[in-house]
Structure 1
Amino acid sequence: MTVHVVTDSTSDIDHARATQLGITIVPLIVDFSGQTYRDGVDMDNHTFYQRLATAAQMPKTSTPDVGTFRDTYEQVIKDGATGIVSVHISGALSGTLNAATLAANQLTEDRQRARQPAVPIRLIDSRTVSAGFGYPVILAAERARNGDSLDAVGDYVQRLADSSKTYFLLDTLEYLQKGGRISAIQAGVGAMLSIKPILGIRDGIVVSLERVRTRSKALARMGELVAAGNVESLALAASDDGAAEDLLKVVRPVYDGHIEQFRLGAVIGTYAGPHAAGLFVIPKH
Protein backbone atom coordinates (compact mmCIF):
# COMPACT_ATOMS: atom_id res chain seq x y z
CA MET A 1 0.00 0.00 0.00
CA THR A 2 1.18 3.53 -0.84
CA VAL A 3 0.14 5.79 2.05
CA HIS A 4 -0.07 9.54 1.47
CA VAL A 5 -0.34 12.07 4.31
CA VAL A 6 -2.63 15.10 3.98
CA THR A 7 -2.89 17.92 6.50
CA ASP A 8 -4.00 21.56 6.66
CA SER A 9 -2.09 24.82 6.87
CA THR A 10 -2.60 25.25 10.62
CA SER A 11 0.01 22.49 11.03
CA ASP A 12 2.47 25.28 10.14
CA ILE A 13 4.67 22.85 8.22
CA ASP A 14 7.08 24.58 5.86
CA HIS A 15 6.05 23.97 2.25
CA ALA A 16 9.55 22.94 1.16
CA ARG A 17 9.68 20.36 3.94
CA ALA A 18 6.20 19.12 3.01
CA THR A 19 7.25 18.68 -0.62
CA GLN A 20 10.36 16.79 0.46
CA LEU A 21 8.30 14.36 2.55
CA GLY A 22 5.35 14.06 0.17
CA ILE A 23 2.88 15.80 2.52
CA THR A 24 -0.07 17.61 0.92
CA ILE A 25 -1.18 20.77 2.73
CA VAL A 26 -4.71 22.12 2.28
CA PRO A 27 -4.74 25.87 3.05
CA LEU A 28 -7.27 27.61 5.26
CA ILE A 29 -8.44 31.08 4.25
CA VAL A 30 -7.58 34.47 5.77
CA ASP A 31 -9.76 37.49 4.93
CA PHE A 32 -8.35 41.00 5.30
CA SER A 33 -11.23 43.48 4.77
CA GLY A 34 -12.77 41.46 1.98
CA GLN A 35 -9.52 40.34 0.36
CA THR A 36 -9.00 36.60 0.75
CA TYR A 37 -5.68 34.78 0.91
CA ARG A 38 -4.81 31.12 1.12
CA ASP A 39 -2.82 30.55 4.31
CA GLY A 40 0.83 29.99 3.47
CA VAL A 41 0.25 30.35 -0.29
CA ASP A 42 -0.82 33.86 -1.29
CA MET A 43 0.90 35.85 1.46
CA ASP A 44 4.16 35.15 3.27
CA ASN A 45 4.30 35.24 7.06
CA HIS A 46 6.39 38.42 7.26
CA THR A 47 3.83 40.35 5.19
CA PHE A 48 0.97 38.91 7.20
CA TYR A 49 2.35 40.04 10.57
CA GLN A 50 3.13 43.50 9.18
CA ARG A 51 -0.49 43.85 8.06
CA LEU A 52 -1.83 42.38 11.30
CA ALA A 53 0.01 44.97 13.39
CA THR A 54 -1.50 47.88 11.47
CA ALA A 55 -4.89 46.49 10.43
CA ALA A 56 -7.89 48.57 11.49
CA GLN A 57 -10.07 45.48 11.37
CA MET A 58 -9.31 42.00 12.66
CA PRO A 59 -8.77 39.50 9.83
CA LYS A 60 -11.22 36.63 9.61
CA THR A 61 -10.33 32.99 9.08
CA SER A 62 -12.34 30.22 7.45
CA THR A 63 -12.01 26.55 6.65
CA PRO A 64 -11.38 25.05 3.22
CA ASP A 65 -14.61 23.96 1.57
CA VAL A 66 -15.61 20.35 0.99
CA GLY A 67 -14.79 20.61 -2.71
CA THR A 68 -11.21 21.64 -1.99
CA PHE A 69 -10.68 18.58 0.17
CA ARG A 70 -12.32 16.31 -2.39
CA ASP A 71 -10.10 17.69 -5.15
CA THR A 72 -7.07 17.12 -2.92
CA TYR A 73 -7.96 13.50 -2.20
CA GLU A 74 -8.69 12.81 -5.86
CA GLN A 75 -5.34 14.26 -6.87
CA VAL A 76 -3.28 12.22 -4.41
CA ILE A 77 -5.13 9.08 -5.53
CA LYS A 78 -4.36 10.00 -9.14
CA ASP A 79 -0.72 10.39 -8.10
CA GLY A 80 -0.66 6.81 -6.81
CA ALA A 81 -1.93 6.80 -3.23
CA THR A 82 -3.77 3.63 -2.23
CA GLY A 83 -4.41 4.89 1.30
CA ILE A 84 -4.63 8.38 2.84
CA VAL A 85 -4.05 9.60 6.39
CA SER A 86 -5.59 13.08 6.79
CA VAL A 87 -4.62 14.91 9.99
CA HIS A 88 -6.15 18.22 11.06
CA ILE A 89 -6.46 21.00 13.61
CA SER A 90 -8.62 20.31 16.65
CA GLY A 91 -12.24 19.82 15.66
CA ALA A 92 -13.25 21.84 18.73
CA LEU A 93 -11.49 24.91 17.31
CA SER A 94 -12.23 24.68 13.58
CA GLY A 95 -14.64 23.15 11.08
CA THR A 96 -11.71 21.92 8.97
CA LEU A 97 -11.96 18.29 10.07
CA ASN A 98 -15.71 18.30 9.38
CA ALA A 99 -15.13 19.51 5.80
CA ALA A 100 -12.45 16.87 5.28
CA THR A 101 -14.74 14.15 6.65
CA LEU A 102 -17.62 15.13 4.35
CA ALA A 103 -15.27 15.13 1.36
CA ALA A 104 -13.83 11.73 2.25
CA ASN A 105 -17.29 10.20 2.70
CA GLN A 106 -18.56 11.62 -0.59
CA LEU A 107 -15.53 10.42 -2.51
CA THR A 108 -15.69 6.93 -0.98
CA GLU A 109 -19.38 6.56 -1.85
CA ASP A 110 -18.86 7.81 -5.41
CA ARG A 111 -15.96 5.43 -5.98
CA GLN A 112 -18.08 2.55 -4.72
CA ARG A 113 -20.91 3.44 -7.09
CA ALA A 114 -18.47 3.70 -9.97
CA ARG A 115 -16.94 0.31 -8.99
CA GLN A 116 -13.52 1.89 -8.61
CA PRO A 117 -10.92 0.40 -6.25
CA ALA A 118 -11.42 1.38 -2.63
CA VAL A 119 -8.93 3.90 -1.26
CA PRO A 120 -9.32 4.15 2.52
CA ILE A 121 -9.08 7.64 4.01
CA ARG A 122 -8.36 7.80 7.71
CA LEU A 123 -9.36 11.12 9.29
CA ILE A 124 -7.58 12.16 12.47
CA ASP A 125 -8.61 14.91 14.88
CA SER A 126 -5.30 16.03 16.35
CA ARG A 127 -7.12 17.91 19.15
CA THR A 128 -4.29 20.45 19.05
CA VAL A 129 -2.80 23.20 16.86
CA SER A 130 0.31 24.21 14.93
CA ALA A 131 3.42 22.12 15.56
CA GLY A 132 1.44 20.14 18.14
CA PHE A 133 0.26 18.10 15.18
CA GLY A 134 2.60 19.46 12.51
CA TYR A 135 5.59 17.68 14.02
CA PRO A 136 3.70 14.36 14.40
CA VAL A 137 2.62 14.72 10.76
CA ILE A 138 6.25 15.10 9.69
CA LEU A 139 7.31 12.05 11.70
CA ALA A 140 4.37 10.03 10.36
CA ALA A 141 5.15 11.03 6.76
CA GLU A 142 8.67 9.69 7.21
CA ARG A 143 7.17 6.35 8.24
CA ALA A 144 4.80 6.39 5.28
CA ARG A 145 7.77 6.91 2.95
CA ASN A 146 9.42 3.90 4.55
CA GLY A 147 6.43 1.72 3.65
CA ASP A 148 4.41 1.57 6.87
CA SER A 149 0.75 0.55 6.53
CA LEU A 150 -2.21 2.91 6.73
CA ASP A 151 -3.09 1.73 10.23
CA ALA A 152 0.51 1.96 11.41
CA VAL A 153 0.92 5.52 10.14
CA GLY A 154 -2.50 6.59 11.46
CA ASP A 155 -2.00 5.01 14.88
CA TYR A 156 1.45 6.56 15.16
CA VAL A 157 0.40 10.13 14.39
CA GLN A 158 -2.66 9.80 16.64
CA ARG A 159 -0.52 8.61 19.55
CA LEU A 160 1.96 11.45 19.15
CA ALA A 161 -0.74 14.10 18.83
CA ASP A 162 -2.65 12.71 21.81
CA SER A 163 0.41 12.66 24.03
CA SER A 164 1.93 16.01 23.02
CA LYS A 165 1.87 18.85 25.51
CA THR A 166 1.43 22.41 24.31
CA TYR A 167 2.74 25.57 26.00
CA PHE A 168 2.05 28.93 24.34
CA LEU A 169 3.29 32.34 25.40
CA LEU A 170 1.62 35.41 23.85
CA ASP A 171 3.05 38.91 23.93
CA THR A 172 -0.45 40.38 24.23
CA LEU A 173 -3.99 39.11 24.80
CA GLU A 174 -5.35 41.71 22.37
CA TYR A 175 -5.70 39.33 19.42
CA LEU A 176 -7.34 36.57 21.41
CA GLN A 177 -9.86 39.13 22.63
CA LYS A 178 -10.49 40.55 19.16
CA GLY A 179 -10.98 37.04 17.86
CA GLY A 180 -13.59 36.31 20.53
CA ARG A 181 -11.50 33.77 22.42
CA ILE A 182 -11.44 35.78 25.69
CA SER A 183 -13.40 38.77 27.01
CA ALA A 184 -12.32 42.40 26.75
CA ILE A 185 -12.20 42.52 30.56
CA GLN A 186 -9.80 39.57 30.73
CA ALA A 187 -7.55 41.15 28.11
CA GLY A 188 -7.64 44.54 29.83
CA VAL A 189 -6.80 43.15 33.26
CA GLY A 190 -3.97 41.12 31.77
CA ALA A 191 -2.49 44.20 30.13
CA MET A 192 -2.76 46.35 33.28
CA LEU A 193 -1.10 43.75 35.47
CA SER A 194 1.53 42.74 32.87
CA ILE A 195 0.23 39.18 33.12
CA LYS A 196 1.65 36.77 30.56
CA PRO A 197 -0.50 33.64 30.69
CA ILE A 198 1.02 30.35 29.59
CA LEU A 199 -1.64 28.75 27.45
CA GLY A 200 -2.15 25.11 26.57
CA ILE A 201 -4.55 22.73 24.85
CA ARG A 202 -6.86 20.48 26.84
CA ASP A 203 -9.69 18.44 25.37
CA GLY A 204 -9.02 20.15 22.08
CA ILE A 205 -9.53 23.73 23.28
CA VAL A 206 -7.24 26.56 24.40
CA VAL A 207 -6.93 26.95 28.17
CA SER A 208 -4.86 29.04 30.54
CA LEU A 209 -2.38 26.81 32.35
CA GLU A 210 -0.56 29.38 34.44
CA ARG A 211 -0.50 33.16 34.90
CA VAL A 212 2.93 34.71 35.26
CA ARG A 213 3.91 38.34 35.86
CA THR A 214 6.24 39.68 33.14
CA ARG A 215 7.47 38.06 29.96
CA SER A 216 10.91 37.21 31.35
CA LYS A 217 9.39 35.19 34.19
CA ALA A 218 7.01 33.47 31.81
CA LEU A 219 9.91 32.48 29.55
CA ALA A 220 11.82 31.10 32.53
CA ARG A 221 8.77 29.07 33.51
CA MET A 222 8.57 27.64 29.96
CA GLY A 223 12.12 26.38 30.41
CA GLU A 224 11.16 24.76 33.72
CA LEU A 225 8.21 22.98 32.08
CA VAL A 226 10.51 21.48 29.46
CA ALA A 227 13.04 20.43 32.11
CA ALA A 228 10.29 18.56 33.96
CA GLY A 229 8.71 17.07 30.83
CA ASN A 230 10.60 13.76 30.27
CA VAL A 231 11.04 14.86 26.65
CA GLU A 232 11.30 12.45 23.72
CA SER A 233 10.85 15.06 20.98
CA LEU A 234 10.47 18.82 21.05
CA ALA A 235 9.16 21.37 18.56
CA LEU A 236 9.06 25.15 18.70
CA ALA A 237 6.76 27.45 16.74
CA ALA A 238 7.09 31.23 16.71
CA SER A 239 5.74 34.22 14.84
CA ASP A 240 9.22 35.69 14.29
CA ASP A 241 12.91 35.03 14.84
CA GLY A 242 13.04 37.13 18.00
CA ALA A 243 10.27 35.18 19.71
CA ALA A 244 11.92 31.91 18.68
CA GLU A 245 15.29 33.03 20.03
CA ASP A 246 13.75 34.06 23.36
CA LEU A 247 12.43 30.53 23.85
CA LEU A 248 15.60 28.84 22.64
CA LYS A 249 17.60 30.73 25.28
CA VAL A 250 15.60 29.13 28.11
CA VAL A 251 15.22 25.69 26.50
CA ARG A 252 18.78 24.99 25.37
CA PRO A 253 20.23 24.84 28.91
CA VAL A 254 17.74 22.11 29.90
CA TYR A 255 17.37 20.15 26.64
CA ASP A 256 20.22 19.26 24.31
CA GLY A 257 18.24 17.24 21.73
CA HIS A 258 16.97 18.25 18.32
CA ILE A 259 14.35 21.03 18.28
CA GLU A 260 12.12 21.05 15.20
CA GLN A 261 11.30 24.67 14.41
CA PHE A 262 8.12 26.03 12.81
CA ARG A 263 6.85 29.49 11.91
CA LEU A 264 3.34 30.36 13.11
CA GLY A 265 1.22 30.92 10.00
CA ALA A 266 -1.52 33.43 9.32
CA VAL A 267 -4.46 31.47 10.75
CA ILE A 268 -2.86 30.72 14.12
CA GLY A 269 -1.17 34.15 14.06
CA THR A 270 -4.54 35.88 13.71
CA TYR A 271 -5.32 34.85 17.29
CA ALA A 272 -1.82 34.57 18.77
CA GLY A 273 -0.62 37.93 17.46
CA PRO A 274 2.95 39.15 16.87
CA HIS A 275 5.90 37.96 18.98
CA ALA A 276 4.12 34.79 20.07
CA ALA A 277 5.81 31.43 20.55
CA GLY A 278 4.95 27.93 21.62
CA LEU A 279 6.63 24.70 22.70
CA PHE A 280 5.27 21.27 21.85
CA VAL A 281 6.58 18.41 23.93
CA ILE A 282 6.22 14.75 23.00
CA PRO A 283 7.03 12.82 26.19
CA LYS A 284 8.89 9.55 26.34
CA HIS A 285 6.78 6.40 26.42
Structure 2
Amino acid sequence: MARVAIVTDSTAMLPSDLGDAAALITSVPLQVIVDGTSYDDGVDETSPAALLAALAAHKTVTTSRPSPALLAETYAKLAAEGFDEIVSIHLSAELSATCESSMLAAREAPVPVLTVDTRLVGPGVGFAVLAAAAVAARGGSATDARDAALGHVAASGSYFYVDTLEYLRRGGRIGAAAALLGTALAVKPLLTIEDGRVVPHARVRTAERAIARLQALGIEAADGEESVEVVVGHLGSPDRADAMAEGLASELGGKVNGDVRVGELGAVLGAHVGPGCVTVTVGPAL
Protein backbone atom coordinates (compact mmCIF):
# COMPACT_ATOMS: atom_id res chain seq x y z
CA MET A 1 0.00 0.00 0.00
CA ALA A 2 1.48 3.36 -1.09
CA ARG A 3 2.06 6.09 1.46
CA VAL A 4 0.55 9.37 0.22
CA ALA A 5 1.65 12.81 1.41
CA ILE A 6 -0.44 15.97 1.00
CA VAL A 7 1.25 19.29 0.22
CA THR A 8 -0.51 22.65 0.25
CA ASP A 9 0.31 26.34 0.65
CA SER A 10 -0.04 28.99 3.31
CA THR A 11 -3.28 30.41 1.90
CA ALA A 12 -5.29 27.30 2.85
CA MET A 13 -6.19 28.57 6.35
CA LEU A 14 -5.91 25.12 7.89
CA PRO A 15 -7.02 24.70 11.51
CA SER A 16 -4.27 24.96 14.10
CA ASP A 17 -4.96 21.44 15.36
CA LEU A 18 -4.74 18.97 12.50
CA GLY A 19 -4.76 15.89 14.72
CA ASP A 20 -3.48 12.75 13.02
CA ALA A 21 -3.58 14.50 9.63
CA ALA A 22 -0.58 16.62 10.68
CA ALA A 23 1.72 13.70 9.87
CA LEU A 24 0.51 13.73 6.26
CA ILE A 25 0.17 17.47 5.50
CA THR A 26 3.01 19.84 4.62
CA SER A 27 2.38 23.53 3.94
CA VAL A 28 4.76 25.75 1.97
CA PRO A 29 4.67 29.55 2.31
CA LEU A 30 3.90 32.04 -0.39
CA GLN A 31 5.95 35.23 -0.28
CA VAL A 32 4.92 38.67 0.95
CA ILE A 33 7.00 41.60 -0.34
CA VAL A 34 6.89 44.76 1.79
CA ASP A 35 8.65 47.76 0.24
CA GLY A 36 10.88 45.42 -1.74
CA THR A 37 11.78 43.03 1.11
CA SER A 38 10.47 39.48 0.78
CA TYR A 39 9.19 37.44 3.73
CA ASP A 40 7.55 34.04 4.13
CA ASP A 41 3.82 34.18 4.67
CA GLY A 42 3.10 33.34 8.31
CA VAL A 43 6.20 34.71 10.07
CA ASP A 44 6.21 37.62 12.53
CA GLU A 45 6.94 40.15 9.78
CA THR A 46 3.83 39.00 7.91
CA SER A 47 1.42 38.54 10.81
CA PRO A 48 -2.02 40.11 10.34
CA ALA A 49 -1.02 42.91 12.71
CA ALA A 50 2.18 43.57 10.76
CA LEU A 51 0.25 43.61 7.49
CA LEU A 52 -2.34 46.03 8.84
CA ALA A 53 0.45 48.32 10.07
CA ALA A 54 2.17 48.19 6.67
CA LEU A 55 -1.04 49.01 4.82
CA ALA A 56 -1.83 51.85 7.25
CA ALA A 57 1.65 53.27 6.62
CA HIS A 58 0.99 53.12 2.85
CA LYS A 59 3.86 50.72 2.29
CA THR A 60 3.90 48.79 -0.97
CA VAL A 61 2.75 45.22 -0.26
CA THR A 62 2.76 42.59 -2.98
CA THR A 63 2.81 38.78 -3.02
CA SER A 64 4.58 36.02 -4.90
CA ARG A 65 4.29 32.27 -5.39
CA PRO A 66 6.56 29.73 -3.69
CA SER A 67 9.44 28.98 -6.02
CA PRO A 68 9.62 25.70 -7.97
CA ALA A 69 12.88 25.05 -6.11
CA LEU A 70 11.14 25.23 -2.72
CA LEU A 71 8.44 22.80 -3.84
CA ALA A 72 11.02 20.49 -5.40
CA GLU A 73 12.91 20.47 -2.09
CA THR A 74 9.66 19.72 -0.25
CA TYR A 75 8.80 16.81 -2.56
CA ALA A 76 12.30 15.35 -2.27
CA LYS A 77 12.17 15.58 1.52
CA LEU A 78 8.83 13.75 1.65
CA ALA A 79 10.16 11.03 -0.65
CA ALA A 80 13.17 10.63 1.65
CA GLU A 81 10.76 10.23 4.57
CA GLY A 82 9.20 7.23 2.85
CA PHE A 83 6.19 8.64 1.02
CA ASP A 84 5.50 6.97 -2.32
CA GLU A 85 3.12 9.51 -3.85
CA ILE A 86 2.28 13.19 -3.30
CA VAL A 87 -0.86 15.21 -3.90
CA SER A 88 -0.09 18.95 -4.05
CA ILE A 89 -3.24 21.04 -3.49
CA HIS A 90 -3.18 24.79 -4.06
CA LEU A 91 -5.12 28.00 -4.56
CA SER A 92 -6.57 28.92 -7.92
CA ALA A 93 -4.14 29.07 -10.82
CA GLU A 94 -6.15 32.07 -12.05
CA LEU A 95 -4.99 34.00 -8.98
CA SER A 96 -1.47 32.66 -8.37
CA ALA A 97 1.30 30.80 -10.19
CA THR A 98 1.65 28.37 -7.27
CA CYS A 99 0.19 25.47 -9.28
CA GLU A 100 2.69 26.23 -12.04
CA SER A 101 5.53 26.01 -9.49
CA SER A 102 4.15 22.66 -8.35
CA MET A 103 3.97 21.25 -11.87
CA LEU A 104 7.51 22.40 -12.65
CA ALA A 105 8.83 20.87 -9.42
CA ALA A 106 6.93 17.62 -10.07
CA ARG A 107 9.02 17.00 -13.19
CA GLU A 108 12.11 16.50 -11.00
CA ALA A 109 10.43 14.80 -8.05
CA PRO A 110 11.65 11.31 -7.11
CA VAL A 111 8.05 10.13 -6.62
CA PRO A 112 4.85 10.83 -8.58
CA VAL A 113 3.20 14.20 -7.79
CA LEU A 114 -0.41 15.09 -8.66
CA THR A 115 -1.02 18.85 -8.70
CA VAL A 116 -4.56 19.96 -7.86
CA ASP A 117 -5.79 23.41 -8.86
CA THR A 118 -8.69 23.94 -6.47
CA ARG A 119 -9.80 27.11 -8.30
CA LEU A 120 -10.55 28.43 -4.81
CA VAL A 121 -8.75 30.46 -2.14
CA GLY A 122 -8.60 30.31 1.63
CA PRO A 123 -10.61 27.79 3.67
CA GLY A 124 -12.04 26.16 0.54
CA VAL A 125 -8.50 25.03 -0.25
CA GLY A 126 -8.17 23.84 3.33
CA PHE A 127 -11.34 21.76 3.06
CA ALA A 128 -9.90 20.04 -0.03
CA VAL A 129 -6.62 19.37 1.77
CA LEU A 130 -8.33 17.81 4.79
CA ALA A 131 -10.56 15.66 2.57
CA ALA A 132 -7.51 14.38 0.69
CA ALA A 133 -5.62 13.72 3.93
CA ALA A 134 -8.54 11.68 5.32
CA VAL A 135 -8.45 9.44 2.24
CA ALA A 136 -4.67 9.09 2.43
CA ALA A 137 -4.90 8.17 6.12
CA ARG A 138 -7.27 5.32 5.23
CA GLY A 139 -4.76 3.93 2.74
CA GLY A 140 -6.19 5.48 -0.40
CA SER A 141 -4.03 6.17 -3.44
CA ALA A 142 -2.93 9.61 -4.65
CA THR A 143 -5.66 9.44 -7.28
CA ASP A 144 -8.26 8.67 -4.62
CA ALA A 145 -7.03 11.58 -2.49
CA ARG A 146 -7.06 13.94 -5.49
CA ASP A 147 -10.62 12.93 -6.35
CA ALA A 148 -11.75 13.53 -2.76
CA ALA A 149 -10.18 16.99 -2.84
CA LEU A 150 -11.93 17.88 -6.09
CA GLY A 151 -15.22 16.54 -4.75
CA HIS A 152 -15.02 18.92 -1.82
CA VAL A 153 -14.08 21.78 -4.12
CA ALA A 154 -17.19 21.20 -6.22
CA ALA A 155 -19.44 21.21 -3.15
CA SER A 156 -17.93 24.24 -1.35
CA GLY A 157 -19.07 27.85 -1.53
CA SER A 158 -17.02 30.92 -0.64
CA TYR A 159 -18.21 34.51 -0.36
CA PHE A 160 -16.54 37.62 0.95
CA TYR A 161 -17.16 41.25 1.74
CA VAL A 162 -14.56 43.98 1.26
CA ASP A 163 -14.71 47.62 2.31
CA THR A 164 -13.13 48.59 -1.00
CA LEU A 165 -12.16 46.89 -4.25
CA GLU A 166 -8.98 48.93 -4.48
CA TYR A 167 -6.68 46.25 -3.03
CA LEU A 168 -8.00 43.62 -5.44
CA ARG A 169 -7.59 46.07 -8.32
CA ARG A 170 -3.98 46.87 -7.37
CA GLY A 171 -3.09 43.19 -7.29
CA GLY A 172 -4.79 42.48 -10.60
CA ARG A 173 -7.29 40.10 -8.98
CA ILE A 174 -10.37 41.96 -10.21
CA GLY A 175 -10.91 44.04 -13.32
CA ALA A 176 -10.43 47.79 -13.18
CA ALA A 177 -13.93 48.31 -14.59
CA ALA A 178 -15.55 46.35 -11.75
CA ALA A 179 -13.48 48.21 -9.18
CA LEU A 180 -14.39 51.56 -10.71
CA LEU A 181 -18.08 50.67 -10.77
CA GLY A 182 -18.07 49.82 -7.09
CA THR A 183 -16.35 53.09 -6.23
CA ALA A 184 -18.52 55.22 -8.51
CA LEU A 185 -21.78 53.90 -7.09
CA ALA A 186 -20.54 54.01 -3.48
CA VAL A 187 -21.71 50.45 -2.95
CA LYS A 188 -20.33 47.74 -0.73
CA PRO A 189 -19.36 44.74 -2.86
CA LEU A 190 -19.94 41.09 -2.08
CA LEU A 191 -17.67 38.78 -4.06
CA THR A 192 -17.33 35.09 -4.82
CA ILE A 193 -15.03 32.76 -6.75
CA GLU A 194 -16.25 31.49 -10.13
CA ASP A 195 -14.07 29.45 -12.47
CA GLY A 196 -11.12 30.28 -10.26
CA ARG A 197 -11.56 34.06 -10.50
CA VAL A 198 -12.83 36.73 -8.13
CA VAL A 199 -16.13 38.07 -9.46
CA PRO A 200 -18.81 40.42 -8.08
CA HIS A 201 -21.76 38.56 -6.60
CA ALA A 202 -23.90 41.40 -5.27
CA ARG A 203 -23.70 45.10 -4.48
CA VAL A 204 -25.25 46.46 -1.31
CA ARG A 205 -25.59 50.08 -0.22
CA THR A 206 -24.24 49.85 3.33
CA ALA A 207 -21.70 47.74 5.19
CA GLU A 208 -24.37 46.57 7.62
CA ARG A 209 -26.58 45.27 4.84
CA ALA A 210 -23.60 43.69 3.14
CA ILE A 211 -22.65 41.76 6.27
CA ALA A 212 -26.26 40.61 6.73
CA ARG A 213 -26.36 39.47 3.11
CA LEU A 214 -23.05 37.65 3.55
CA GLN A 215 -24.52 35.68 6.46
CA ALA A 216 -27.54 34.81 4.34
CA LEU A 217 -25.26 33.54 1.57
CA GLY A 218 -23.52 31.29 4.08
CA ILE A 219 -26.86 29.84 5.13
CA GLU A 220 -27.88 29.32 1.49
CA ALA A 221 -24.58 27.54 0.79
CA ALA A 222 -25.44 24.96 3.47
CA ASP A 223 -28.80 24.17 1.89
CA GLY A 224 -29.11 20.55 0.87
CA GLU A 225 -26.26 19.33 3.10
CA GLU A 226 -26.91 17.25 6.21
CA SER A 227 -23.74 18.44 7.90
CA VAL A 228 -21.33 21.23 6.98
CA GLU A 229 -17.99 22.80 7.85
CA VAL A 230 -18.14 26.59 8.21
CA VAL A 231 -15.20 29.00 8.44
CA VAL A 232 -15.42 32.76 8.89
CA GLY A 233 -12.31 34.74 7.99
CA HIS A 234 -11.49 38.41 8.46
CA LEU A 235 -8.74 41.01 8.39
CA GLY A 236 -8.78 43.45 11.27
CA SER A 237 -12.50 42.89 11.91
CA PRO A 238 -12.83 40.47 14.83
CA ASP A 239 -16.15 41.93 16.00
CA ARG A 240 -17.73 41.51 12.57
CA ALA A 241 -16.36 37.99 12.25
CA ASP A 242 -17.47 36.89 15.71
CA ALA A 243 -20.97 38.26 15.14
CA MET A 244 -21.09 36.50 11.78
CA ALA A 245 -20.01 33.20 13.34
CA GLU A 246 -22.61 33.49 16.09
CA GLY A 247 -25.33 34.25 13.56
CA LEU A 248 -24.38 31.31 11.34
CA ALA A 249 -24.16 28.93 14.31
CA SER A 250 -27.61 30.04 15.48
CA GLU A 251 -29.23 29.73 12.04
CA LEU A 252 -27.60 26.45 11.03
CA GLY A 253 -27.80 24.82 14.45
CA GLY A 254 -26.87 21.14 14.55
CA LYS A 255 -26.06 21.15 10.84
CA VAL A 256 -22.62 22.60 11.67
CA ASN A 257 -19.97 19.94 12.26
CA GLY A 258 -18.44 21.11 15.54
CA ASP A 259 -18.10 24.89 15.79
CA VAL A 260 -18.04 27.67 13.24
CA ARG A 261 -14.32 28.35 13.01
CA VAL A 262 -13.11 31.97 13.00
CA GLY A 263 -9.66 32.92 11.76
CA GLU A 264 -7.78 36.02 10.67
CA LEU A 265 -6.56 36.06 7.09
CA GLY A 266 -2.85 35.66 6.49
CA ALA A 267 -0.82 38.38 4.81
CA VAL A 268 -1.00 36.94 1.29
CA LEU A 269 -4.79 36.90 1.26
CA GLY A 270 -5.07 40.03 3.37
CA ALA A 271 -2.88 42.08 1.05
CA HIS A 272 -5.40 41.56 -1.75
CA VAL A 273 -8.62 42.26 0.16
CA GLY A 274 -7.60 44.93 2.67
CA PRO A 275 -8.76 45.78 6.20
CA GLY A 276 -12.39 45.15 7.00
CA CYS A 277 -12.76 42.05 4.85
CA VAL A 278 -15.02 39.27 6.12
CA THR A 279 -15.32 35.89 4.42
CA VAL A 280 -17.64 32.90 4.76
CA THR A 281 -16.77 29.46 3.41
CA VAL A 282 -19.13 26.48 3.65
CA GLY A 283 -18.46 22.90 2.59
CA PRO A 284 -19.66 19.36 3.33
CA ALA A 285 -18.64 17.96 6.71
CA LEU A 286 -15.24 16.29 6.59
TM-score normalised over the length of structure 2: 0.86
Q: CA deviation at 1:43?
A: 2.8
Q: Measure the CA separation in 2 of the matches of 1:48 and 1:159.
A: 36
Shift of 1:99: 0.7
2:4 aligns with 3
Residue 106 of structure 1: aligned partner: 108
Bigger drift between 269-278 and 144-153 goes to 144-153
* Alignment equivalent of 1:92, drawn from 94, 106, 130: 94
Compute the displacement of 1:252 (Å). Answer: 2.4
After superposition, what is the alpha-carbon deviation per residue over 1:179-225, rounded to whole angstroms, capped at 9, x for unaligned?
23446675465356541111000011000011111111111112222
Change in Cα spacing, 1:138 to 1:260, as seen in structure 2 (3 Å) is farther
| Rounded Cα–Cα distance in structure 1 between residues aligned with 2:31 and 2:11 | 10
Supply the distance in 1 between the matched residues of 2:20 and 2:60 (Cα, whole angstroms): 32
2:234–2:279 CA contact under 8 A, matched in 1: yes
Aligned ranges for residues 43-82 of structure 1 at < 5 Å?
A: 43-82=45-84
Do 1:5 and 1:137's aligned partners in 2 also have CA atoms closer than 8 Å? yes
Amino acid at match of 1:237: G
Asked whether the 8 Å contact 1:243–1:277 carries over to 2, the reply is: yes
What's the CA shift for 1:58? 2.8
Q: Within 1, Cα distance between the matches of 2:275 and 2:13?
A: 15
Question: Structure 1 residues 182 and 95, CA, compared in 2 at 3 Å: closer, same or farther?
Answer: closer
For 2:87 and 2:126, locate their aligned partners in 1 and report how far apart those are by CA, in whole Å: 13
Match of 1:132 in 2: 124
Structure 1 residues 226 and 186, CA gap change in structure 2 (3 angstroms): closer
SS of the aligned residue for 2:125 comes to helix
Q: Secondary structure of the residue that 2:27 maps to in structure 1?
A: strand
Distance 1:140 1:33 in 2: 37
Q: Which residue of 1 aligns with 2:161?
A: 169
CA contact (8 A) 2:242 2:262 kept: no
**Structure 2 residue identity aligned to 1:251:** L
Matches within 5 A, 1:107-256: 107=109, 111=110, 119-182=111-174, 187=179, 190-191=182-183, 193-229=185-221, 230=223, 231=225, 232-233=227-228, 234-240=230-236, 241-256=238-253
Say whether the 8 Å CA contact 1:226–1:281 is kept in structure 2: yes
The aligned amino acid for 2:232 is L
- Separation in structure 2 between the aligned mates of residue 43 and residue 24 of structure 1, nearest angstrom: 21
Query: Counterpart of 1:252 in structure 2: which amino acid?
Result: A
Percent identity of equivalent pairs: 34
SS for the counterpart of 1:43 is helix
> 2:3–2:83: 8 Å Cα contact kept in structure 1?
yes
CA deviation digits over 1:225-276, x for unaligned, max 9? 2332314422222224224213214322321213244331111111111121
The structural deviation recorded for 1:138 is 2.2
CA offsets per residue over residues 119-168 of structure 1, 9 Å max, x none?
22111000010111112212322332233322221110111112211111
The answer as to whether partners of 2:119 and 2:195 remain within 8 angstroms in 1 is: yes
CA drift of 1:174 comes to 2.7
- Whole-angstrom distance in 1 between the partners of 2:46 and 2:97: 24
CA–CA distance in structure 2, aligned partners of residues 56 and 217 of structure 1 = 29
The runs of 5 or more residues in structure 2 that have no matched partner are none
- C-alpha distance in structure 2 between counterparts of 1:251 and 1:157, whole Å: 25
Segment of structure 1 superposing worse, 152-161 or 131-140: 131-140
2:282 is the alignment partner of 1:281? yes
Contact 1:52 1:270 in 2 (8 A): no
* 1:252 partner SS: helix
Whichever residue aligns with residue 222 of structure 1, its letter is L
Structure 1: gaps of 5 or more residues: 112-118
Q: Read off the aligned partner of 1:245 and give its amino acid letter.
A: D
Residue 36 of structure 1 deviates from its aligned partner by 1.0
CA drift of 1:12 comes to 2.3
